Amino acid sequence: MSAAPGQTTAAPRLLVVDDDEGLLILMAEALRAEGYDVEAAATGQAALRWLGSHTPDLIVLDLKLSDVDSATMITRLDSGPVRVPFIVVTGQGDERVAVEVMKRGALDYVMKDTAMLDLLPSVVQRALDRLAREQALATARAEHARLEAEVLAASERERHSIGADLHDGLGQLLTAVEFMCTALKEDTAHTHPDASARLDQMGGMLREAVAQTRFLARGLVPLSGGPEALHQGLTALAERTNALGRTHCDFEAGEIVEVDNPTAANHLYRIAQEAVNNAVKHARGSGIRLRLTRSPGWLVLEVEDDGVGLTPQSEGKGAGLGLMRYRASLIGADLAVKPRRGGGVIVTCSWPQPP
């Protein structure tokens, strides 16, 4: 990787471990000649002591050390706070052992033969290139996840803004017009009975418009503040679903389950909302049941319906399942979508709780 103008890139730091001191010196010198920063250890214990205070970019590890067996060495490499990548050096006839070690995490291996010193630098470079690609991919994925979270957060802010405008702006304006119609109806009740009747109709339509506006506003801004917000939001979600008249929705609310994390409460509510919407639109069932419970180590949200069950379309990324899974991942929760005995679907979101 090239450095920016005026900057230098530190050479990759390697640790070479081999109890054949002559070969150890030759390997170290061959790698230093390629520009690597090389440390050498003639025993497994010496390597472990050095690793106690240093972290190399890559280890070149002899499989047959006299003082520490390969299985123990690899276990120690994996058990530290940072996993240390390694390649292995092995003798003729040990290819099977080398393959087994690669299954345990080795990036590559090189045979101890006459071509070894010529091949070693290229094997090391190949392993370092692979590590660089994996790091770049991990960085890109982390950035992708960060941007997705920002888009989701911006979407939530926009929802709140629109909901507040509906409730405080349009809703109040419609209410004011309704009051004016009521006052005008009273003024014309005796002098213009036909106009008064039409004003009464207008008042009824305005009341319906106010109710629908508040309905929409509550859907966009579902949760108030406080640890009981999720419980209250699920109660309101069931009531609004019942008001649609298509499917009966029941929130089985025992004792109130408090959630002190407002971000998690919002994601859990949106998961429930999406699952309920899916059931209403696609399940074609007669009933939906919401549950929110707390057990040792877990808070569990369940949305159960008695509809047509899972279909190829609902099992894919359609019907909002992808978004539900993503919301669950943002709070470290597990989301499961399973068929319900007797027909229908159960969506379960399990959020781990500290003891």
Does 51 map to a domain?
A: yes
> Angle at Cα 160 formed by Cα 231 and Cα 214, nearest 5°?
70
CB-based contact 94:103 (threshold 8 Å): no
**Is there a domain that residue 180 lies in?**
no
Question: Across-strand partners of 14?
Answer: 38, 58
CA 116 to chain centre: 45
Placement of tokens 């569990």 in the chain: 300
Give the pLDDT of residue 170: 81
pLDDT at 155: 75
Q: Name which residue leads in pLDDT, 165 or 60.
A: 60
**Number of structural domains the chain divides into:** 2
- Nearest-5° angle of CA 215, CA 217, CA 220? 115
pLDDT exceeds cutoff 70 at 67: yes
Q: What is the distance between the alpha carbons of residues 187 and 151, in angstroms, rounded to a whole number? A: 52
Residue 312 inside a domain? The answer is yes
pTM listed for this prediction: 0.54
pLDDT of residue 186: 86
Please indicate whether residue 212 or residue 184 has the higher confidence score (pLDDT): 184
Residue pLDDT, tens place only, 197-218: 888 888 888 888 877 777 677 6
Is residue 106 assigned to a domain? yes
Q: Which of 56, 79, 113 is the endpoint of a domain?
A: 113
Range of the domain at 92: 13-113
Share of the chain above pLDDT 90, in %: 32
Cβ of 201: how many Cβ atoms within 10 Å? Answer: 11
- Using one digit for the tens of pLDDT, what is the confidence trace for 319-330? 478 889 988 998
Q: Is residue 24 part of a domain?
A: yes
With respect to residue 267, please indicate whether it lies within any of the assigned structural domains. Answer: yes
Among 51-65, 165-179, 324-338, which stretch is predicted with the lowest mean pLDDT?
165-179
Q: What is the residue type of 348?
A: T
Q: How confident is the model at residue 3 (pLDDT cuts 50, 70, 90)?
A: very low
Q: Which residue has the tokens 């008042």?
A: 203
Report the C-alpha gap between 171 and 18 in whole angstroms.
78
> Where residue 347 sits, what CATH number does that domain have?
3.30.565.10
Contact 109, 101 (CB under 8 A): yes
pLDDT of 221? 63
CATH of the domain at 78: 3.40.50.2300
| Domain assignment of residue 91, yes or no | yes
> What are the distances in angstroms from CA 112 to CA 23, 40, 86?
9, 17, 16
Answer whether residue 318 shows pLDDT above 60.
no
Q: Which of 248, 334, 247, 235 is nearest to 282 (CA)?
A: 247
Average pLDDT over residues 229-240: 90
Q: Does 230 share its domain with 355?
A: yes
Q: How far is CA 236 from the centre of its chain?
A: 27
**Last residue of some domain: 113, 135, 164?**
113
Q: Of 97, 113, 129, at which residue does a domain stop?
A: 113
Mean pLDDT, residues 232-242:
89
Region 135-158 average pLDDT? 82
Query: How much of the chain exceeds pLDDT 70, in percent?
Result: 90
pLDDT of residue 113: 84
Mean pLDDT of the chain: 84
Q: Which residues neighbour 156 within 8 Å (Cβ) at sequence distance 6 or greater?
A: 266
227 Cβ contact partners less than 8 Å away, ≥ 6 residues apart? 258, 259, 260
pLDDT of residue 24: 93
Examine the pLDDT at 311 and tell me if it is beyond 70. Answer: no
pLDDT score at 1 = 42
- Predicted confidence at residue 105, as pLDDT, reads 85
Examine residue 193 and state whether it is found in any structural domain, yes or no.
Answer: no
Decide the pairing of beta strands 345-352 and 298-305: antiparallel
Q: What is the pLDDT of residues 281-290, one digit of tens each?
A: 876 778 999 9
* Half-sphere exposure in the Cβ direction for 121 (13 Å, CA): 13
Distance between CA atoms of residues 321 and 349, nearest Å: 12
Q: How confident is the model at residue 59 (pLDDT cuts 50, 70, 90)?
A: very high
Q: Are 234 and 254 in contact (CB under 8 A)?
A: no
